[in-house]
A and B are shown apart, each in its own frame.
Chain A
Amino acid sequence: MQTKFQLIHVFFKQTAYLDPGTGSLLIQLLLAGLLGIGVAIRIYWKKIKKLFGGKEKGEEYSDPTEIEDEEDEF
């Protein structure tokens, strides 16, 4: 089985020209793990809100990668 270390090692060796820094990687592992759970909760929360007819607040910044005729939320 390929371990994380091997994966990171292989990945950086092959492609990375930026050095991401060990400390930056570790904090990212930690935060991403926690925040990923947050994303899952938010997705379900949005669904629940929609179910009850809740509306999104108007945003000052819309998603700049959005194509105009689409209605995705940022």
Chain B
Amino acid sequence: MYHNITGSFRDPSGFLFTKDGILYRQINQKYQENYDRLIESGLYERLSKAGAMISHEEVDLDAAPIPDIKYKIIKPKIVDFISYPYEWCFSQLKEASILTLAIARRALDYDMTLKDASAYNVQFKEGKAVFIDTLSFEIYQEGTPWIAYRQFCQHFLAPLSLMVYQDIKLNQLLRTNIDGIPLDLASKLLPLKTRLNFGILTHIHLHAKSQQRFADKALKGPIADAKVNKQAILGLIESLISTVKKLKVKKFDTEWNNYYQITNYSSESFEAKKDIIHSFLSVANPNSVWDLGANTGEFSRIAGERGIKTIAFDIDHGAVEKNYRHMKGNQEENILPLVMDLTNPSPSLGWHHSERNSLINRGPVDLALALALVHHLAIGNNVPLNSIAAFFSDLCEFLIIEFVPKIDSQVELLLSSREDIFPNYTINGFEVAFKNYFTIVEKKLVANSKRTLYLMKKIGS
């Protein structure tokens, strides 16, 4: 039984599908010449050997999904968790953009060109950005421009510049603009001083003006006769590389990324909490973990260090940035930090609601960690406990969850500025709500604190 992956329909060169749960890519005859060049020129070998592009093997499938246009079927290596640019922190988007440009530049050495520069062609695998679209390369024809230039500016340069010069949270604009941030919008939002930055001035501001000026006009006159030689394209790509490299977020201290320094955890209870999580992980023995509300990933690392593929979600961009830098610094391969607002998680987006998957559609995960989180959802966001339990039961098979009672200083803080309309927010009310969806496997008090940790298993799993 074939199942098409709907995010890959735009490119007529081929498409992704799954058969018996295994991911394949059909390469169409239309792309034959380009694919052969990719392989024969050594570009594929170079990029996959460097770890810049996902490797694949050519396979013989009894029957292809659309056999009359088929050239080959390939089986690419799997990316454990597909993430999207609106879930990445600044440094992740920057790493992905440098990868894209480096590949575009390298392809020219092999007389090929990168025909699209979509941020969705990059994923994070084992701690680094990797290019996943094998069909993005075409034979370079002397004189032709870099066709993906506009897309690169929209998908990468515009959000990165906005994050540096306006607000680090502006990558969220990628959620509403699936083909990247329109350059006229980026140009309007960027402060005046960015006109003094040569790269941003030319690739965004003047680029936007040029788009506006020549909208709905065909190329004619002497300009249409001009050719772009390879060195000129190289110059364009190098200019983009240097512009992106100079973009740096210096100050990213936010509400949460100093959480562990300012919170009132005693080191004893902090260690006790870690020990309990270790023992619960031994019992559940998951292959994959989502740490929901991971902050800078202190507890995600407990799972990561056990060799478990762990996604560390947090709402706070600064915390995710810090986590990512920590992870890169220590070359950790099992942690992927991502920005996620659990009260409004990533939805299904794009054509037919199926180009980009919602968070729930990318699950369920073997085990979710929900530490110091429930009070934020229940009291900070007024979500009834029963509804929180139902949400988690859609996400995971096992759940390690911490209950933080009203007498805890963090909850007192949440309630200090508002009326307490949460009579059911008690340990008993919590257990009753969660027992509708989960079985409590173990329950342990965290030493020197008022908090309780639970290991739960989804009913029916």
Contact = CB atoms under 8 A, between A and B. Distances in A.
Interface in A1-54: 3-5, 7-8, 11-12, 15-18, 20-29, 31-40, 42
B133 to A, nearest CB: 12
Contact of A36 (B46, B153, B210, B235): B235
Interface residues of B, number: 65
Contacts of A8: 144-145, 219, 224
A24 B245 contact: no
Contacts of A28: 145-146, 149, 228, 236
Given A11-B141, A65-B52, A65-B103, A31 B239 contact: yes
Contacts of B99: 64
Contacts, number: 149
Residue among B151, B235, B239 facing the most chain A CB atoms (10 A cut-off): B235
Interface in B233-264: 233-236, 238-239, 241, 245
B50 A64 contact: yes
Given A24-B211, A36-B232, A65-B102, A4 B143 contact: yes
B232 A23 contact: no
B33 to A, nearest CB: 10
Contacts of A20: 145, 147-150
A17 B146 contact: no
B213 A23 contact: yes
B206 A27 contact: yes
B207 interface: yes
A4 B133 CA distance: 29
Nearest to A10: B141
A40 B232 CA distance: 9
B51 interface: yes
A31 B236 contact: yes
A15 B37 CA distance: 15
Majority SS of interface residues in chain B?
A: helix
Nearest to B105: A65
B188 interface: no
Nearest to A41: B235
A35 B207 CA distance: 15
Question: What's the interface size class on A, roughly?
Answer: 35 or more
Given A29-B226, A36-B231, A61 B245 contact: yes
A70 B19 CA distance: 39
B144 A7 contact: yes
B229 interface: yes
A63 interface: yes
B210 A23 contact: yes
A25 B219 CA distance: 9
A65 B151 CA distance: 21
Contact of B145 (A5, A32, A37, A60): A32
B98 interface: yes
B11 interface: yes
Contact of B50 (A11, A12, A32, A67): A67
A24 B211 CA distance: 6
Contacts of A7: 141, 143-144, 227
A37 B232 CA distance: 7
Interface string B143-182: 1111111110100000000000000000000000000000
A5 B52 contact: no
A27 B207 contact: yes
A24 B51 CA distance: 31
15 contacts: A5-B219, A18-B147, A20-B149, A23-B214, A24-B153, A26-B223, A28-B146, A28-B228, A31-B203, A36-B234, A38-B238, A39-B235, A60-B245, A64-B52, A65-B105
Interface of A: 3-5, 7-8, 11-12, 15-18, 20-29, 31-40, 42, 59-61, 63-67, 74
